[in-house]
Chain A
Amino acid sequence: MPFNLSSFLIVAAVLFTCGVFTVLTRRNVIGILMGIELIMNSAGLNFVAFNRYMPEAQTAAGPTGQVFTLFIIVLAAAEVAVALAIVLALYSKLRSIDVEKFHELSG
């Protein structure tokens, strides 16, 4: 079996799927955040794979895929920080981190 771009994409897809599954089925908020992390990382994996296997995608400015992955990591970190802040606020109000309990915004 040749080891090419497809292999990395498949791994990223599997990771993405796991991440989506995790987001959809966890009751724990932190678990959902972990799933989100997985999704983001899978996206990042996609980027570096494309960066390695398609040189014409690189620009004169440098390795685009790698730069993008760095952005993703930073954004993930920021987003987790914000999400955790929200979770903390919710916990101080509702004394729980069970996502089933967060339905005040229902219409």
Chain B
Amino acid sequence: MNPETMNNIIFLIPLIPLIGAAVNGLSGRRVSNRVVHVIGCGSVLLSFLISVLGFFTLLSIAVPSRRVLIQSVYTWLSAQWTGGGFMVEAAFRLDPLSVVLCLVVTGVGFLIHLYSVGYMAGDRSQARYFAYLNLFTFSMLVLVLADNPLLMFVGWEGVGLCSYLLIGFWFTDVEKARAGMKAFIVNRVGDLGFFVGLMFLVWALFEPGNPEPIGLSFDSLAAGMPRLLDAEPIWGIGIATWIALLFFIGATGKSAQIPLYVWLPDAMAGPTPVSAFIHAATMVTAGVYMVVRLNFLYLASPVAMTVVAVVGALTALYAAVIAVAQNDIKRVLAYSTISQLGYMFLAAGVGAFATGIFHLTTHAFFKALLFLGAGSVIHAVHHNDMNRMGGLKSYLPVTYLTFLVAYLAICGLAPLAGFVSKDEILFSVFTAHLPVPGLAFMLGVLGLAGAGLTAFYMTRLLLLTFFGSFRGEPDQKQHLHESPRVMTGPLIVLAGLTVLGGVLGLPAVTHLPHFLSNFLNPVLERSGAGVHQSGAVALEVGVMIISTGVALVGILIGWYLYSKKPTAVETLANRFTFAHRLLANKFYVDEAYQALIVKPVMKLAALSGLFDLKGIDGIVHFTSRTTTKLSFLIGWEDNKVVDGAVNSLAETFKKLGDAAQRLQTGRVQHYLYAMVLGIFVLFIFRLLI
């Protein structure tokens, strides 16, 4: 398609799901469920098709560095004063990075919408569900396509909101509603970091002498980096570092890293397709996307990048450790997601941005597949407890086979997508040059350990769910059935993507071009194609072998403990009770947060409430009482003084009247006397005047 035409229709990509959300939300209850499904899935499909169109349009632009299409919908904020100005446009940017994310969001999104048709069949509120899902798709697309951090923040908040709405979808269950609240509140803490970082960035970019209005588009920000680097450090830390770290706090909230990951495991209370979409493939990747989008900012601050890498690596290992001891199938996958996101941040932290995006894409495929497969299982057994599952591979063959594919991918076995991307991350880490010597090696080791644990707990999950004998209620066995085609279809498609996804970025050894990094390179100042540039082929092969070896060890141990000798698990749990309890209770982090943060905040809220009740209301009551007394005084004054004046006036007249009355004696002689007196007075006057 013509680039100019494409430029003019970029806004349709987010708009169509928004329309779908509005239609379903406002009128969905009055139409049949079929219409709701068609609108819900159809809008995402249309978005996907336009994204595909956009992708090919970009490819058709011969010069890679010119593969950027920006469409400004309208001028959002514009302020101009003498000596400066500020302008923000509501603009969408289609470049290789955003088009990749668009394809992932709309493509995987469409598959999940289809799957939801089957999963949510029978639910009473399907219109609301699909409306929320479409609204989420819209918000995520705004986030991905935004050309400036402010518009991105709109999408950022929007996905947070939709996450809350969808986690607490079955809000009549208090626990589920609470999980939604927890997600939103923890996210909010992160959002604060994002926004403060944004404000800081705008402040830092102001030049006192320059009357040009500063724009916030990513191009303008990238051009403004030299100013940041020249600026004075605050409290010994450079401005770029401050800003990058603040944005990263937002990323830890949205992408569930340490310390703001606590909402994701509880978010499993939502419907499983929601978990697959939002908490595996898209929303949680927003943090990674943001860091990659702002790669110029992070490259300006090696300190921030190191922090990102360390947090990513630690989270990757930490979450994997917790996942080992969870019994809820969705929780294992949730911690697995946190762990894999850690790998993405690890990649970004060492500068391998394209690699991080690569892992994001492959992870979207196999994690969505894992979640949807788990959903299929849950659909069959109606609960999440792995201890009551088992032997399901004979009852749910399609689910099992697709799940197996995803399992192999996440364990990192060649040549599936998971292997290729994870391997690239590890290679980038080991060849990275971080400010602290030896740190890169340690992070690489952490990554390998995490990979081993990933293989282990996934094997555990696979064996407990699909192998062995069924450990649930005997009468449940009749109800065990494979899911309908509308659910298994997406599973198969995703399995295919998982298998083929690796093709996007094959390692240098194969001497095939790394499609993804070649595509993304122009957008990123430095990308993860270091795989091809540094040319340390031997190291790369070495990493591949070691990571595969670690994965196999993990699988072997898992197989041994959960297939060959299941009783060993009990023995181990009893031998290491402390460790086991620590893991099963997620290191008591939730409890710690509750005691250290939530309780004090609630107490503060109660205190404020008390202050409002006693203090403010007290003032109001006091004022009213004083006014009443004052009015009483005034009333008294009115009575006594004003009435007194009136009364005394009347008294005076009465006295005058009394005096006058005394003239009327009734005695004729007095009257006559008065007459004579009067005449006499008249005479005097006559004489005088």
A residues in contact (CB < 8 Å) with B: 20, 23-25, 32, 99-100, 102-107
Chain A min CB distance to B466 (Å): 125
In the complex the two chains form, is B667's CB within 8 Å of A103's CB? yes
- From B661, B667, B672, B676, give the contact of A100 (CB < 8 A): B667
User: Is the C-beta of B673 less than 8 angstroms from some C-beta in chain A?
Assistant: yes
Extra contacts, 15 of them, besides A24-B669, A103-B667 (Cβ < 8 A), are A20-B676, A24-B672, A24-B673, A25-B669, A32-B668, A32-B669, A32-B672, A99-B669, A100-B667, A102-B668, A103-B666, A104-B666, A105-B664, A105-B666, A106-B666
Chain A min CB distance to B687 (Å): 15
With a CB–CB cut-off of 8 A, which chain B residues contact A100?
667, 669
User: Is the C-beta of B665 less than 8 angstroms from some C-beta in chain A?
Assistant: yes
With a CB–CB cut-off of 8 A, which chain B residues contact A99?
667-669
Please give the number of chain B residues whose Cβ is less than 8 angstroms from any Cβ of chain A in the complex.
10
Bound complex: CA A69 to CA B378 (Å): 143
Residue among B664, B665, B666, B669 with the highest chain A CB neighbour number at 10 A: B669
With a CB–CB cut-off of 8 A, which chain B residues contact A24?
669, 672-673, 676
Contacting residues of chain B (641-674) with chain A, CB-CB under 8 angstroms: 661, 664-669, 672-673
Chain A min CB distance to B418 (Å): 124
B residues in contact (CB < 8 Å) with A: 661, 664-669, 672-673, 676
With a CB–CB cut-off of 8 A, which chain B residues contact A105?
664, 666
With a CB–CB cut-off of 8 A, which chain A residues contact B668?
32, 99, 102
Smallest CB gap from A29: residue in B: B668
In the complex the two chains form, is A102's CB within 8 Å of B676's CB? no
With a CB–CB cut-off of 8 A, which chain A residues contact B666?
102-107
Main secondary structure of the interface of B (DSSP, over half): helix
With a CB–CB cut-off of 8 A, which chain A residues contact B672?
23-24, 32
- From A20, A25, A32, A106, give the contact of B665 (CB < 8 A): A106
In the complex the two chains form, is B673's CB within 8 Å of A107's CB? no
In the complex the two chains form, is A107's CB within 8 Å of B669's CB? no
27 A–B contacts from the bound complex (CB under 8 Å):
A20-B676, A23-B672, A24-B669, A24-B673, A24-B676, A25-B669, A32-B668, A32-B669, A32-B672, A99-B667, A99-B668, A100-B667, A100-B669, A102-B666, A102-B667, A102-B668, A103-B665, A103-B666, A103-B667, A104-B666, A105-B664, A106-B664, A106-B665, A106-B666, A106-B667, A107-B664, A107-B666
Bound complex: CA A102 to CA B670 (Å): 12
With a CB–CB cut-off of 8 A, which chain A residues contact B669?
23-25, 32, 99-100
Bound complex: CA A102 to CA B669 (Å): 10
Bound complex: CA A18 to CA B669 (Å): 15
- From A20, A103, A107, give the contact of B661 (CB < 8 A): A107
Bound complex: CA A23 to CA B672 (Å): 7
Smallest CB gap from A27: residue in B: B669
Bound complex: CA A24 to CA B667 (Å): 11
Bound complex: CA A23 to CA B677 (Å): 13
Chain A min CB distance to B663 (Å): 9
The 5 closest A-B pairs by CB, nearest first: A106-B666, A103-B666, A107-B664, A105-B666, A107-B661
Chain A min CB distance to B497 (Å): 122
Bound complex: CA A106 to CA B663 (Å): 9
Smallest CB gap from B663: residue in A: A107
Bound complex: CA A8 to CA B668 (Å): 31
Smallest CB gap from A103: residue in B: B666
Residue among A25, A32, A100, A103 with the highest chain B CB neighbour number at 10 A: A103
With a CB–CB cut-off of 8 A, which chain A residues contact B667?
99-100, 102-103, 106
Bound complex: CA A71 to CA B71 (Å): 125
Bound complex: CA A102 to CA B667 (Å): 6
With a CB–CB cut-off of 8 A, which chain B residues contact A106?
664-667
Bound complex: CA A83 to CA B667 (Å): 16
Residue among B661, B672, B673, B676 with the highest chain A CB neighbour number at 10 A: B672
With a CB–CB cut-off of 8 A, which chain B residues contact A20?
676
